[in-house]
Amino acid sequence: MLVAIDSYLRAQPGTVEASSALNEIVEAISSGKATFLGLVEQLGPQLTHSDPFARAKGVGALSSVLVQCPADRIGSSAVNVLVKFYLERLQDQPSVGELLIGIRAMLQSDIVMSSDAETIAKSIFTDLAVQTYQQTVRHIAFEIFDLLMAKQLPAVRRLGPAFVSEYVQMVDGEKDPRNLLLAFRTVRLIIRQLDFAEHAEDLFGIVFCYFPITFRPPPDDVYGITADDLKLALRECIAATPLFAKYAMPLLIEKLASISGSAKRDAMETITACAPVYGADAFLPHVEHLWNYLKEEIFKTADDHNIAAALSAVNAITMTLSSATVSSSSHKSPLETFLELAVKDSMHNFKDPELKYAKLSGKMLVAAASACDPACHQVVNAVLPLVLEQCRLQNLPTRQKHLLEVLFDFLKAGQEVYGLTSLSAMDLDDDFLNPLLAFKDRLFELYIAASAASSEYMPLRRSGIRGLAALLMSRQLLAGVEVNVAIGQLNQAIITDPDAEVRQEALQSLITYATAKPDVVLQATFPTLFRELPDGAASQPPAHVANVLEAILALSTATLHKHGLKGLLARLYSIGALTSYSEHDVQYAEALATAILGIVDGAQSTASDAENMAVADNIMQPVLQKAIAASISQEVLLTDARILRIVARVLGSVTRCLSAAQQRLLLESVVDTFSNGNLTRLALSPGNIPFRPFDANAPETQTRLSILFAAVFFNARPEIPLPVPDAAVYLEMLLARSLETPDQILSESLVKCVASTLNKTKNEAAVSTFLQLGTVTHMLQGTSVGESRSRERCISVASWIARALVIRSHSAGYQLATEILGLLGEGEEGAQSPAAIAIGVIVHEPEDGCLTRRSFANLLYKQRFFGHCVPVLVNGFQQGSSGAKQAYLLALSQLLKNVPKTVLSNALTQIFPLLLCSLALPDADLKLATLDTLQALLGECAVAISGQISSVVAALLSIGTGTVAGQPGNRSGDTMLVRIAALKTLGDLPRKFDYALLYPHKVAVLRQLNAALDDPKRAVRKEASAARNRWFLLLGRA
């Protein structure tokens, strides 16, 4: 250990050599090879050296070992020696910092005895003038006292009031924010744990001298201390004890007269915090002054934060004064005196409700009324008669609206004092009677009239709706018939009001009330809404149906979702049975199915397994029964492919939320029904026409139902076995049928089932065996030979098999993807390239959730697949024909749309030329994907793009303005969305790139953007104007 000690003393602090030597010393003591007292003895010459800096080095070594050494290896005898030694050396100034580090380490390790802790405090007070040292030393001293208060409180208490006096002197003059946070925390502990009454004024003075905090952290502050941290800590100190009240109140009131808005806000927030602690007696002498200052702040300031602080102060003072007793010489309580001032200074403002003073007066009075029951009674009884009288006198909708908002605020105040409808009677004291009850009838009448007003002034109706909602949610106000009338009015607003904001307000009101009284909403609202939905063929305008469905979907939460489902399913079955239907009917059925999907998806997060099973019973079997029965007999709307796709998503969502046992039973039933035609599994009677949707001669009405089969199949959990005798044979049958059928729906549905099984299985041998099957070989051969439709089908099927394998990182998936990429060079034209579309299948997230995390698929990140494809695409584009180039670019766009943009940055140099070429092609989807990618890369890869900025600007201008080389060009592919995206990206350039890089293009950009300002589409003109403004403001930095 001697060698290690010598090495540490010779090394520079913070070096690797010093750290290594210290670790060696600590290891020796920890393992028992040396003792701590032995270390002290060996450091003896250094600790008694004549050179003060050498002594400091020795103390530093000892303290560093104390910090890292386990407490149980130091020993109580060594602790006593160390404490005595450290305290004796406190007058050795060069060593003070290291000494305090050692003392802190011993306190943190809980090895200091109570008597020694008392001595530590006395010695620091006596021997150290803490404020004469640098910040780091002062910080350690404050940490020591923080530890003493936290871990050695009995020792501190033995010091008595002297500790408080000495600590005040130590803190005096401190300015560092890190130290102040520690000092404020210790002051709070002193107030909470010690008898400080003798020095209360001194303790208050050392705290309040920092009020108000004006600290601004430096830009490079690594400690993260903010002004708000200091303000909150200081406020907690000032509000920590009522003994500070007589010193604090005059000073806080003085700060309210400050010209600084920040100082006044701090004073008001501190008064708010102090009010419940100081009590009414502290505020009584200052009530009038406080009111005058707060009133001025509310009425005259333009700062919303100060107004909020003043309102909070009014509320806190009112609450505090409510506890004051009436003196024998006065007929009024302090609360009554304070509120009379508030009412007197506010009442005249309500005569002109459109001015801001009326609204602010209402806010101020509401802040007081919401504090307590006595305040609410006094303010409501004084103010509401006048406001209600003004409502009777005012005929202008704008004035009525402002007055109704004031009344609404009083209703909210009543809710704060007396509670909400949702609270049970046991939660609040019913001895308190809501003073608003006396004005209920008039309020109810006003809000009903406003919500039903025929005026075109929408805000008035909206205020009426908000008022009705507040009345409904207020305890003790509405009951019985009044509730039904109010809900009926909200129902009518949802159904008939022409303004979307009013409808949304009414809907939100019902949603809120449904959380408190779901049975009332179920009985009063659901029947009304369902009456607006046609039962059978669509007979209502689509916009009206959409509004009603939105309301049903929003209300079908928690306990109400099963009722919403029941009604919507009945409507879907009704219209789904139509044999002759229009496009309007199909849109209605789609809307119904989409709403059902929304309810099912929303219920999953809160429903239990039993509730999920109940949902499955209500949906799964009835839907399958009706669809299968219809497919056997005749064509009905329910079997239309557009409806089936949405219904399939519903079935998939239901399947996912079932338990493994429930999924097993469901899969057995569905497989038996669809594969074997066993209709008894779904309680259907076999008819003259068999149900065999997978047979080669099955009618299209039956093959379409494969969408429903697949939805159940690929959403099952991985542990669910296939309910067939031989899974490999069954999967090969499905794959063969998928390849041979001309029905696109059947082909895609069956291959999704196969792909899902391949992805989820944990049997690698079974996957390898499957890939060797003749059907798979036939599929691979079919991708490159045969007639066009057959090739397209084989490529489509292969893309799903590749997806299943790629996302589980199987090598065969990448081999298959490589073969698909190789097909891009065969000259298919752009959007018609099945190989390019197949790349999109591999990486996209399908709406039905097939092979996604939702359907329990094994997923790995897309970065590897992107890296696999990019070199092939780049090379193929460079060497391919013009037709093949477009196919490669389309394949690239499929990747760009589905791969996270962060993945693209690594391959930007390779793909950027392809991105620019994509912008010149007429494919709108390709352009949108490219522009979306380009916009995302502007911020992350600006350096890499800067070399091509001229080409980027030219391409964006060409698209956004519909020009080619400055002349009017062909807008093929430049749809409105494409033009908007191009102009948005162009407008982002000045914010992403340096002035010197963009300035050469400024004149040309401003000139050519004039063409976009004349675009026939308003949205395009708006984006062009925004882009032109940003380029116009492109200026060099001074």
pLDDT in the model for residue 244:
94
Residue 328 — pLDDT band, cuts 50, 70, 90? Answer: very low
At 608, the pLDDT band (50, 70, 90 cuts) reads: low
The structure tokens listed for 705 are 């139902």
* Residue 858 pLDDT level (bands cut at 50, 70, 90): low
Strand partners, 968: 963
Task: Identify the pLDDT of residue 1038.
Answer: 34
Of 689-698, 824-833, 885-894, 910-919, the range with the highest mean pLDDT is 689-698
- Taking the model in full, what pTM does it have? 0.76
pLDDT tens-digit readout, 709-742: 999 999 999 999 999 999 999 999 999 999 999 9
Where does the pLDDT of residue 325 fall: very low under 50, low under 70, confident under 90, or very high at 90 and above? low
pLDDT of residue 434: 87
Q: Residue 923 in contact with residue 836, Cβ under 8 Å?
A: no
Residue 964 CA, distance from chain mean position: 44
Contact 742, 754 (CB under 8 A): no
Is the pLDDT at 128 greater than 50? The verdict is yes
Alpha-helical (H) ranges within 783-862 are: 788-806, 811-822, 834-843
**Is-contact 380 410, C-beta < 8 A?**
yes
What does the angle CA 253 – CA 258 – CA 264 come to, to the nearest 5 degrees? 70
For the stretch 222-235, pLDDT in tens is 788 889 999 999 99
CA 644 – CA 631 distance, rounded (Å): 12
**Which residue is it, tokens 């791969």?**
899
Higher per-residue pLDDT: 970 or 632:
632
pLDDT per residue over 99-110, tens digit each?
Answer: 999 899 889 888
Helices (H) and strands (E) in the chain, counts: 55, 2
Share of the chain above pLDDT 90, in %: 38
SS (H, E, C) 937-978: HHHHCHHHHHCCHHHHHHHHHHHHHCEECCEECCCCCCCHHH
Under a CB-based contact definition with an 8 Å cutoff, are residues 294 and 258 in contact?
no
Cα–Cα distance between 255 and 993 in angstroms, integer?
48
Mean pLDDT confidence for 780-804:
88
Average pLDDT over residues 355-373: 90
Phi-psi region of 167 (alpha: psi -120 to 50; beta: other; left: phi over 0): alpha
Question: 413-422, 523-532, 1003-1012 — which is least confidently predicted?
Answer: 413-422
Structure tokens at 135: 């910040």
Higher pLDDT, 456 or 577: 577
**How many Å separate Cα 75 from the centre of its chain?**
52
Please give the structure tokens belonging to residue 630.
């219809």
Which tokens hold the place of 143?
């940490």
Beta-carbon contacts of residue 322 (< 8 Å; ≥ 6 apart): 280, 335, 371, 372, 374, 375
Average pLDDT over the chain, rounded to whole? 86
DSSP string spanning 221-244?
A: -SS---HHHHHHHHHHHHTS-GGG
Per-residue pLDDT, 426:
43
Residue 405, both tokens: 């908002």
Q: Average pLDDT for residues 962-972, to the nearest whole number?
A: 51
State the pLDDT at residue 831: 44
Give residue 751's pLDDT: 94
* DSSP of 121-182: HHHHHHH--GGGS-HHHHHHHHHHHHHHHHH-HHHHHHTTHHHHHHHHHHHTT---HHHHHH
Residue 32 DSSP SS3: coil
Q: Which two tokens stand for residue 131?
A: 């404020």
Per-range mean pLDDT, top range of 35-39, 745-749, 850-854: 745-749
Position 826 pLDDT exceeds 80? no
Query: Quick one: pLDDT band at residue 607, thresholds 50, 70, 90?
Result: low
Residue with tokens 């309580």: 333
For residues 868 and 604, what is the distance between their CA atoms, to the nearest angstrom? 37
Task: Band the pLDDT of 448: cuts 50, 70, 90.
Answer: very high
Residues 596 and 663 sit within 8 Å (Cβ to Cβ): no
For residues 952-965, average pLDDT: 80
Asked if the model's pLDDT at residue 499 lies above 50, the reply is yes
Contact 778, 739 (CB under 8 A): yes
Residues 6+ apart with CB under 8 A from 997: 946, 949
Percentage of the chain beyond pLDDT 70 is 94
Over residues 982-992, the mean pLDDT reads 89
Is the pLDDT assigned to residue 960 strictly greater than 70? yes
Position 671 scores a pLDDT of 93
Q: Residue 972's pLDDT is what?
A: 62
pLDDT score of 576? 87
Q: How confident is the model at residue 965 (pLDDT cuts 50, 70, 90)?
A: very low
Q: How far apart are CA 590 and CA 710, in angstroms?
A: 20
Give the position of tokens 């001293």.
Answer: 141
Sign of CA dihedral 35, 41, 47, 51: negative
pLDDT, residue 48, reads 82
Report the pLDDT value the prediction gives residue 314, as an integer from 0 to 100: 94
* Cα–Cα distance measured from residue 896 to residue 926, given in angstroms and rounded to the nearest whole number: 9
584: pLDDT strictly greater than 60: yes
Q: Report yes or no: 493 and 465 within 8 Å, Cβ to Cβ.
A: yes
Residues in the chain: 1038
Segment 110-138 shows an average pLDDT of 90
**Rounded to the nearest 5°, which phi and psi values hold at 922?**
-85, 0
